[in-house]
Amino acid sequence: MQPELIADYACVVGENPLWHPVEQRLYWTDIDTKRLFWYEPETGMHQALNIGRKVGGFTIQADGALLLFMDRGTVQIWRAEGTGDRGQKGTGNREQGTEGKREEGREGIIIEEIPEERESRFNDVIADPAGRVFCGTMSTPAQQGSLYRLDTDGTITRVLEDIACSNGMGFSRDRRTMYYTDSERYAIYAFDYDAKTGALSNRRIFAQNPESEGLPDGMTVDAEGCLWSARWDGSCLVRYTPEGKEMQRVAFPVKKVSSIVFGGPDYEDIYVTTAGGDKKETDGAEAGSLYRLQMGIHGVPEFPSRIRL
């Protein structure tokens, strides 16, 4: 299976692809360059927007707004309004997209900052079936990362600490298990998940890989309950059975495969972000690109967040 190159914005840390079911667009970020992108499959158009701050992850609210998880622990509602020129139709080349004006889109701040995370940032996030958001933060020289739960009333609670590199998350099809990645421990964990309260318990290892195979990064779960994990410095996606057994690998022509999501009208399109656009000479000529796969495998919609101001 040959991945299809959709757009090459030379992302330094391309991350967090997420399908917007109302707009029928894919959104993704480049954390280090503070940009947010969209791609519209129906027209082939795509565009880059300058957010002005690092966005480590985001969810889509039930009303269609984006909920951005940023540096310093900031959580902000954002809408794509006044984005300037519409993106141009592209065939994978960076020059065929357009760079939007700086886009504030500021509608409401849920959390101005988390004091303990002033030197850190959010990294990967996911909405749960109730509309809460689990959101991880990066480690700094002074402290390890954490996993927080943002409840629908805007209350935030730390649920895990001593995390080396908080990363991809997903839910089993029966909604009884939550998967969680700690990249620098090369581990994907499984937790018992209580949908009524959002509580996590009974942590155990779902899958673990040797350092030589790269870091497990972003993830998603398909309609068969199989887990897909991107491999940073591993040049591939890995698909696991619901029991944690590796069943398939898809190779990419770049080193840093960072995250994955299903999208399209029937959730049959697999979108994959990559990183290393500032190091194309070592990470691959197409490093930092967005790719698409069409493998005849169905995904499921991600849950919307329902965080209130």
Please identify every residue annotated as catalytic: 217
Q: Is 212 helix (H, G, I), strand (E, B) or coil?
A: helix
Residues contacting 75, CB < 8 A, separation 6+: 67, 68, 69, 109, 110, 111, 122, 135, 150, 156, 307
Q: Is the dihedral of CA 89, 87, 93, 284 positive or negative?
A: negative
DSSP string computed for 127-155: E-TTS-EEEEEB-BTTB-EEEEEE-TTS-
Q: What is the dihedral of CA 9, 283, 145, 238, to 10 degrees?
A: 100
Measure the CA–CA gap between 100 and 224, rounded to whole angstroms.
38
Contact 35, 29 (CB under 8 A): yes
Q: Is 44 helix (H, G, I), strand (E, B) or coil?
A: coil
Q: What share of the chain is helix, strand, coil (3-state, %, to 5)?
A: 5, 55, 40
**What value does the CA radius of gyration of the chain take, rounded to a whole number of Å?**
18
Measure the CA–CA gap between 211 and 147, rounded to whole angstroms.
23
